[in-house]
Amino acid sequence: MTTRKLVGHVGVDSGQILITDPCYAIRRKGESQPTVFEERELDLSAICDATTGVSPGCAELGNEVAVVTCTAYGDGVFPVYAECDSDGLVHSITVDFDTQMIEFPITKEPVAQPTGP
């Protein structure tokens, strides 16, 4: 049995979110070796282009380097949930694009964007 737990929020300013291993995108301090993103020329333009004209707006980048997806409503701040087992191991992560936050910076009590007229 798993339990769903709010683990944080993610800000989106490009209408997309990227899922990757941090070591593929960011160098350690003092390291001169290029990252996987640099080696494969995966810059912001390549990431944005990957979801253009693709349905459902998701794409894999650089042969298992990352996955990028468009959000349902563009930019915003969205809650992130983890599905954890009884030992606390994370089995899945969900970003809820249907519950956009309207306050920034995020407070302890997020305010969901109102729906309807």
- Cα–chain center distance at 59: 13
Burial class (CB in 10 A: 0-12, 13-18, 19+), 92: exposed
pLDDT of 106 higher than 60: no
For residue 59 the two structure tokens come to 């794409």
Q: What is the pLDDT of residues 35-88, one digit of tens each?
A: 999 998 888 898 888 988 888 889 999 888 999 999 988 899 999 999 999 999
Q: What is the pLDDT of residues 8-43, one digit of tens each?
A: 999 999 999 999 999 998 988 898 888 999 998 888
For residue 54 the two structure tokens come to 């693709």
Listed as own residue / partner, the contacts of 31-40 with beta carbons closer than 8 Å and 24 or more positions apart are 36/62, 36/65, 37/62, 37/65, 40/65
> Could you give the CA distance from residue 67 to residue 46 in angstroms, rounded to a whole number?
12
- Give the residue from 64, 17, 58 showing the smallest Cα distance to 36: 64
